[in-house]
Structure 1
Amino acid sequence: MPGKRVLVAGATGYLGRHLVQALIDAGCRVRVLVRRPEQAAGFPAGVDAFVGQVTDPATLAGVTDGVELVFSALGITRQRDGVGYLDVDYRGNLALLRLAESAGVARFMYVSVLHGRELRRTVRLAAAKEKFVDALTASPVSSVVVRPTGYFSDMDEFLAMAGRGVVSLIGDGQLRINPISGRDVADACLEAARSDATDVPVGGPDVLSYQDIARAAFAAHRTEPRIRHLPRVLVVAAVWVLSRCTPERVHGPLQFLTAVMTNDMTAPPTGSDHLADYFARQSVGVGAPTTAPDAPGAG
């Protein structure tokens, strides 16, 4: 990949920043899509910043010109300004794909979620992501979908709850996940981009139950574990009710969290970063976000 011109969308998010660094280390020429000019200052020298809004395709003209490979980690985790999952996770990525097709981009990589095909039936975030996967699969551009189990940053809520004294789990806490660091996902993305793979599930090196994760969070705080188990049927019912009477920005994150915590979320292990080490680093000053979440139209 050395010398390739690569576009990273979602570059200001948790994974996106790791992708940018991994591509620079691999000798690529990197262009990032950012929403505001001041965001360009957050990237290393030599990175080409293109300012545009994926929710306004007219602002994206030329973003894929000269690009050989597109990496998209574009998506929203917290809805603001009335922009929803379909606006960014589907339509925003679709706008990039159409530009990539017109520009003759050789390969398009997209980061979705593990078990996205199954979760799309009940989880709006997954439905938007998989709607784009459908379009990507039908495109003439060579593509690969990477499906992480869950990022280390997603586990910050366990650390925050432990800091408040009690961690709440859905059910008995014995379902498993092998969360993965942004750095290890980025490395897996580069490996997938070099291959002929079309769909790549990835997880971290440690397979843990949610009970294990809760205990690791308390260990990082050096406090005794206090774990509360919420009845699965009641949580699922409550989220279903909320999905009928609250806006997507309220029930959407709860849908996704509940789906993840009530399914086995393990994938082939990769990488070398361990959640316990991440928790130990994060435990000082927990409660303040360590990285900005992907925002509507994040570039």
Structure 2
Amino acid sequence: MKKIIVAGSTGYLGSHLVKELQNQKIPFQAIARNTKKLEQQGLQEEQIIKAEVTNPTTLTEKLKGADVLISTVGITRQKDGLTYKDVDYQANMNLLNEAKKAGIKKIIYVSVINGEKMRNLKIMEAKEKFVDELKRSGLYYLIVRPNGFFSDMKDFLDMAQKGKVYLFGSGEYKLNPIHGADLAKAIVESMDTKQHEIIVGGPDILTQNEIAELALKTWRRPIKIVHLPDWIRKLTIPTMKLFTSSKTYGPIEFFLTMMGQDNIAPRYGIHRLKSHFVWEVDHINEKHGSRHQESDKKMND
């Protein structure tokens, strides 16, 4: 049985990958700077590689004995002074270079649907630059291009909670976002594929209007969707670039670009966005309920 190493193991997708590998009883190790999350997921000491992927010296000699490296390393919002180039490109290059030394046979890298067509975006420039290097590496590789994650749909829920959802244009662009658990399963299932690239989306293809309506219904709000002229979206991107740093405009540029096109991938998985929205709202209500209880307790004490 192959031994796997997961990089980016404490992020949204990485956490689901760890769980899927545990469920399938596949031998693996997970890389993390802060190991606490992995310990909470039930990993034993020997399954954890303590390293910082942005610092290549911490990776030295630590990838030996593995057959496959899966990297979900990347950032949506720049923080800790790190840029997309530092993380999405250079950190993955650090992993690639160490993987070569360690004799790893295959690297699976998670990018984004249509990423190769969006190299003009700051985040995509870094991701696709690494994809180019991976293709030239001489190793077996698989580029996984998922559609948006369920977690990315929280913007719709946040707007719906306030009573209105704002969309650009007609709101008829379509997408089929995928749950992290389904994507993790798809990645593990594809480890032995001879393909060099797979595109993966969730089971439901929805318009932005349908997602907005779903979010409002989940919050039990009236259906109020405001359609802003699309020129506002188009104008916002260059304006943000002109007056803000990549730290600010990077995630907004990416979000607004994705909102202005169809993003439809082959359908996969069992998790439905409707159920996820219900879970999210229940979770938020529970948290608020706990806070109210704590507040009441303090007042009574």
After the TM superposition, which segments of 4 or more aligned residues of structure 1 sit over 4 Å from their partners?
none
Distance 2:234 2:40 in 1: 40
**Residue 74 of structure 1 aligns with which residue?**
73
**Residue 102 of structure 2 aligns with which residue?**
103
Q: Is the 8 A contact 2:10 2:38 kept in 1?
A: no
Distance 2:7 2:84 in 1: 16
**Residue 131 of structure 1 aligns with which residue?**
129
Distance 1:288 1:199 in 2: 40
**Residue 5 of structure 2 aligns with which residue?**
7
Q: Determine helix, strand or coil for the equivalent of 1:219.
A: helix
Distance 1:247 1:238 in 2: 14
Q: Pick 1 or 2: higher relative contact order, CA cutoff 8 A, min separation 6.
A: 1
Alpha-carbon distance change, 287 to 254 in structure 1, aligned in 2, over 3 angstroms: farther
Within-5 A mapping of 1:181-260: 181-260=179-258
Q: CA deviation at 1:24?
A: 1.8
Within-5 A mapping of 1:1-299: 3-46=1-44, 48-121=47-120, 123-286=121-284
Alpha-carbon distance change, 288 to 245 in structure 1, aligned in 2, over 3 angstroms: farther
Distance 2:29 2:161 in 1: 39
Q: Determine helix, strand or coil for the equivalent of 1:193.
A: coil
Distance 1:42 1:210 in 2: 36
Q: CA deviation at 1:19?
A: 0.6
Distance 1:274 1:140 in 2: 38
- Counting aligned pairs with the same residue, the percent is 36
**Residue 293 of structure 1 aligns with which residue?**
none
Letter in 2 for 1:259: T
**Residue 295 of structure 1 aligns with which residue?**
none
Q: Is the 8 A contact 1:94 1:132 kept in 2?
A: yes
Q: Is the 8 A contact 1:101 1:140 kept in 2?
A: no
Q: Is the 8 A contact 1:107 1:141 kept in 2?
A: yes
Query: Which has the larger helix fraction?
Result: 2
CA deviations 1:239-296 (Å, max 9, x no partner) are: 211112211110000010011110110011011110001001111254999xxxxxxx
Letter in 2 for 1:185: L
Q: CA deviation at 1:171?
A: 1.2
Give TM-score, length-normalised by structure 1: 0.92
Distance 2:125 2:211 in 1: 27
Q: Is the 8 A contact 1:160 1:287 kept in 2?
A: no
Q: Determine helix, strand or coil for the equivalent of 1:215.
A: helix
Q: Determine helix, strand or coil for the equivalent of 1:283.
A: helix
Distance 1:117 1:45 in 2: 35
Letter in 2 for 1:14: Y
- Worse-superposed segment, 177-186 or 44-53: 44-53
Instruction: Give aligned pairs, total.
Output: 286
Letter in 2 for 1:129: K
Distance 1:48 1:285 in 2: 31
Q: Is the 8 A contact 1:8 1:30 kept in 2?
A: yes
Q: Any stretches of 5+ residues in structure 1 without a counterpart?
A: 290-299
Q: Any stretches of 5+ residues in structure 2 without a counterpart?
A: 288-301
Larger Rg: 2
Q: CA deviation at 1:40?
A: 3.5
